[in-house]
Amino acid sequence: MKKQSLFKAGMVLAFGLVTSAYAVDACKDAMPVAQGSGHSVNGNSTGSISGTKWGFEQWSAGGSNSMTYYDNGTFKANWNNNNDYLARVGFRYGDNGPGKSVKGMQYTADYKYTKTGSAQYGYIGIYGWTVNPQVEYYIVDDWFSKPSEQYVGPKQGEITVDGATYTIHTYVRDQEASKTGTSTFLQIFSIRQSPRQCGHIDIQAHFNKWNELFTGQTASLPGSKGGQKSIQLKFGDVTEVMLMTEAGGGATGSVEYTYFDMSENGQPSEPPTPIDRKPFGGTAATIPGTIEAENFDEGNYGDSYSGTQGASGEDGDHDYRGEDYASVDIVNGGTGKAIGYTAKDLWLEYTVNVTKAGEYNITAYVSNGSGSGTVELSLDKTALASLAFEGNTQEDWNTYEEATGKATLTAGEHVLRITIANDNTNVDYVKFSLEGAGEDDPPLAINADLRLGNTAKTLQVFDMQGKFMGKVDVAAGASIKDAVKARFQNAGIYLVKLGSKMQRIAIK
C-alpha cells in the first residue's frame, strides 16, 4: 500500500528467488551467485521475472532510488530521502481479483538479507491483499523499532511458528488508499516477537490461524483517523503473496538479498525441538543469594523465557547459551554478563530454592541509557516486587545502578520471573538478602596490610564515583593492592566490594 506507514522506525528489504523446496537453511546455506549485470528498474514499475512464477514491484514517493534484479531473482536496491519507498517480489494473481483461495495451499518463503541506512518507519516480511473481503495483511519478521498497538491495533491472538511467537493484531484503515481506490478496509498483522534477518517463513500457518480466528463476525476496532469503526473480521482470497519492504519518513538506505525462495506448495515448518524444562546447570539457584540474569532456566520459547527483543547486539556473547536461546541477547557488562538489547515485556524464569522463609531485601543491578523504569518480579505467577531505577538519557549502558525493594518469601522451591517493564533495560543480577541476618556473602576478611585471609576471592572494583570497572581475582593471603594494581595498572583511589563491605585502595 502506498501510504504513510504505521511504524515509527524504518525498514528496508529486497529479495532473491530460487525454486528448491524447504530442505535448506537460508541462514547458513548459499545459493549460486547471480550472473550478469542484472536488470535495472526505473521509477514506479511492476513486471515479471523471466523464467519464474514471480513478479516484482518498485514504488516510491519523493527522493531517488534504484533497483537491480538478476535472472535468479535476487536483487539489490538503494534509496535516498524517500517519503515512502517499497519493493516487493513474489506471487501476483491480479490486483483486483478474482483472488486465489488459500485453502489447501502451502505458502512458504526462505530469505537472507543485509541492509544499511535509517528511516522513521518500515517493516520487513510477507505482504499482500485479499478480496471478498478486501484486506491488507502483513507478516512482520523484522524491524528497527517494535510496532506499537497504536498503529497495528489490539492483540487478537498469537501463533508460535518458525521458532518464535507472533502476536496477531487488527486495525482499520479509514477511507484511505487501497487496491480499489479510496476505501475503508481491515488490516491483519502477525508480528514476530524476536526479529531476525534470515530464515524460513511458514506463511500458510499464519493464513490458517487467521482463518481460525476471523470467521466473519463484525467487530469495533480503532480507525486510522480516530474513533472506532465496525468492520467484518475475515481473511479473503489472496491477490498477491510477496516479500515486501517499506521504508519512509526521509528514509535513506540500501539492501541486498543473497537468498530467497518462495513456494505455493512448500514444506511447513517443523515444530522446535522440545527442550526439557530444568534449572540452568541442573540445580535450582539458592535464596538467600544472587540470581544471575543470564542463567535463566533451560526450556523452549514461551516456557522458560518469552517476550520481545530489541535490536540485536553485535557485541553480545552469542555462544553462552547457544542457538536455542538466540532471541535473548547476553552482553558483557555489569559484574560480568547481563541480559541486554531488551524490549518491554521480555520475561525470564528461574527455578529457585528458598532455604529460609522471611522478609528479604531485593537488589537488582541494572542499566538503561534511554531513561528510568522498573523491573517487575513475580514468584509462582504472583506479583512479588517492583524495582524502580533512575537510568540516564545519555545512551550509556555501561553505568549500572541498584534498583531495590522488599518481599516476604516462603521456604521451598519456586519459579521466579523477571519481567522487563521498559525498553532497553540491561539486567546483570537480582540479589535476595534475608533481613536481619546480615549479608549473605561473608565480610571481606583482610588484615592490616590489606591482604586477604585464608580464602581466595573475586572482588568487584569501582571508581570513586561508583562506576563499575571490572573484577579482580585475589589469591588467599595475597595483597589486594597488588592485585588491583596489576589488573588496572593506573594510579588512583579504587573501591573494592564483597557483599555490602567496601574498602578503599590507594594505588601509587
CA gap 91, 74 in Å, rounded: 15
Distances (CA, A) of 66 to 77, 252, 286, 386: 6, 12, 59, 51
CA gap 209, 427 in Å, rounded: 35
First to last CA, the chain: 67
CA gap 201, 376 in Å, rounded: 33
CA gap 507, 493 in Å, rounded: 6
Name the catalytic one among 57, 240, 246, 292: 246
User: Cell numbers 546480615 correspond to what residue?
Assistant: 438
**Which residues are within 8 A (CB) of 363 and not within 5 positions of it... i.e. 6 or more apart?**
402, 403, 404, 430, 431, 433
Contact 437, 430 (CB under 8 A): no
Beta bridge partners of 305: 301, 348
Active site residue 435: no
CA gap 380, 386 in Å, rounded: 15
User: Cell numbers 540470581 correspond to what residue?
Assistant: 291
CA gap 172, 70 in Å, rounded: 37
Distances (CA, A) of 308 to 6, 143, 196: 19, 12, 12
DSSP string, 8-67: SS--------B---S-S-TTT---PPPPSS-EEE-SSEEEE-TTSS-EEEEEEESSEEEE
Name the catalytic one among 57, 136, 294, 349: 136
Which of 446, 450, 432, 443 minimizes the C-alpha distance to 507? 450
CA gap 200, 84 in Å, rounded: 27
State which amino acid sits at residue 222. Answer: P
Active site residue 136: yes
Catalytic residues, which ones? 136, 246
